[in-house]
Amino acid sequence: MTAIAAPLAEHTTSKPTRLLSLDLLRGLTIGFMILVNNNGNEAVAYWPLKHAKWNGFTPTDLVFPTFLFLVGVAIVLSQGSRLGGGATRQSLLGHIFRRTVILYLLGLVVNSFPFFHLSTMRFYGVLPRIAICYFIVATFNLFIGGWRNKAAVAVACLVGYWILMRFVPVPGFGVPTHGVPLLDRDANLAAWLDRQIFSAPHLYERTRDPEGLLSTIPALGTALFGLLTGYWLRSTRTLASKARGIAIAGVSGVLLGGLWNFSFPINKKLWTSSYVLFAGGLSLLLLALAIWLVDVRSAGESKPKQSRLFTPLLVFGTNAITAYVFSEVLADGLGSIRLSSGINVLQWCYGAIARVVPDAAFASLLYSLAFVAVCWLPVSLLYRSRIFIKV
């Protein structure tokens, strides 16, 4: 056990100063996630605030992979700090297991609130995917040291998924690009597998699920890229050189993902390998920018001053899961309350804005911003009280 863990210990001998940029980027991600998940009118919302319908990419498609990427970064920093403080790997494994269970159960709450009908309960979802990726990647990092094997597994996830989606025959349809188009909406291996596991009422899109089982493989690649970034951040290099290295990796990811897109299209709903590289590259660029703006510029100060401009994002970033769960439960709860007119509370709120603002898309944006503000208020109380709920 000691020999296996030794490479990891090399990265835990010195505890780095907490990077404000990580909380900042996490807060930006959660804030934008709440914004795009709560469009007042999905049909007329501005295109950057909607997912690509199938192949392609919009800013909204960057939200989930960025958060999962940051989960990977946090794993390295958290485990390094705990091991450096004297925690045992057995105790950390227990923590990983408990956190995984809590995340998954919260995912079921988010998916099913407020009715919890077992016949239609969705077992896939955002938090379940985060829980599964977190458990696998955190356990892998805890017991298998070194960064090279993580890089190899990340590459294997992307290449392996491409092989499965490109060359394995889809039962009842045929071989992709021969008997059936590559990445056909329903005649792809990922969608077929999900239909074998769950009936239509349990799948988000009835015939497929964007957080299905098979696409968890490349999602592990996203988390592993975050893990590798965490190793880079724990190195002894200067913050400026770390930011430059992350930016170079980001540009490389965008270019590689863009090139792979020609033969294996970028597709968020299938979490294709090209999507992992492209979105991961953008996440890296955002992180490099955040490190440069926040951490590098304040590194020379004896008492770094926190700009008030960052506070709204830090409110979300320091209680990210809490903010996300609250936003989903609030939306589901208000959406289930029907008024005498037959519409629900959320539809009434959007209608009230639309009656004043003639531009439907702008009215939808105003509704979304108002919803984000409502979610921000209770989380800001936690922030002011220095209460940080760690799931």
Average pLDDT over residues 265-270: 98
In tens, the pLDDT along 46-55 reads 999 999 999 9
In tens, the pLDDT along 176-232 reads 999 899 999 999 999 999 999 999 999 999 999 999 999 999 999 999 999 999 999
| 389 within domain boundaries | no
Average pLDDT over residues 249-271: 98
Which of 92-96, 234-238, 287-291 shows the lowest per-residue confidence on average (mean pLDDT)? 234-238
Q: Let me know: does 225 contact 280? Beta carbons within 8 Å.
A: yes
Look-up of token digits 């540009």: 251
| Residue 377 belongs to domain spanning | 2-384
Gap between the Cα atoms of 16 and 325, Å rounded: 30
| 391 within domain boundaries | no
Number of neighbours of residue 214 by Cβ within 10 angstroms = 18
User: What's the structural domain count of the chain?
Assistant: 1
**Closest Cα to residue 8, out of 150, 185, 131, 111?**
150
Q: What is the pLDDT of residue 302?
A: 46
Average pLDDT over residues 88-109: 96
| 390 within domain boundaries | no
pLDDT band at residue 4 under the 50/70/90 scheme: very low
| 102 within domain boundaries | yes
Q: Let me know: does 321 contact 101? Beta carbons within 8 Å.
A: no
Mean pLDDT of the chain: 92
Task: Compute and round to an integer the Cα radius of gyration of the chain.
Answer: 21
Q: What is the pLDDT of residue 15?
A: 46
**Closest Cα to residue 331, out of 310, 345, 315?**
345
User: Taken in order 369, 31, 316, 135, is the CA torsion positive or negative?
Assistant: positive
| 147 within domain boundaries | yes
Gap between the Cα atoms of 257 and 279, Å rounded: 8
| 336 within domain boundaries | yes
Q: What is the DSSP letter of 306?
A: P
**Closest Cα to residue 109, out of 324, 315, 334, 344?**
324
> What tokens were used for 328?
């989903």
**Closest Cα to residue 253, out of 172, 154, 160, 347?**
154
How far the first Cα of the chain sits from its last, in Å, is 28
Letter string b/e over residues 36-53, b meaning 16 or more CB atoms within 10 A of that residue's CB: bbbbbbeebbeeebbbbe
Q: What is the pLDDT of residue 247?
A: 98
In tens, the pLDDT along 78-90 reads 999 999 899 999 9
Letter string b/e over residues 91-121, b meaning 16 or more CB atoms within 10 A of that residue's CB: ebeebbeebbeebbebbbebbbbeeeeeeee
What residues does 170 pair with on adjacent strands?
A: 174
| 91 within domain boundaries | yes
CA distances 145 to 13, 77, 260, Å, are 14, 14, 30
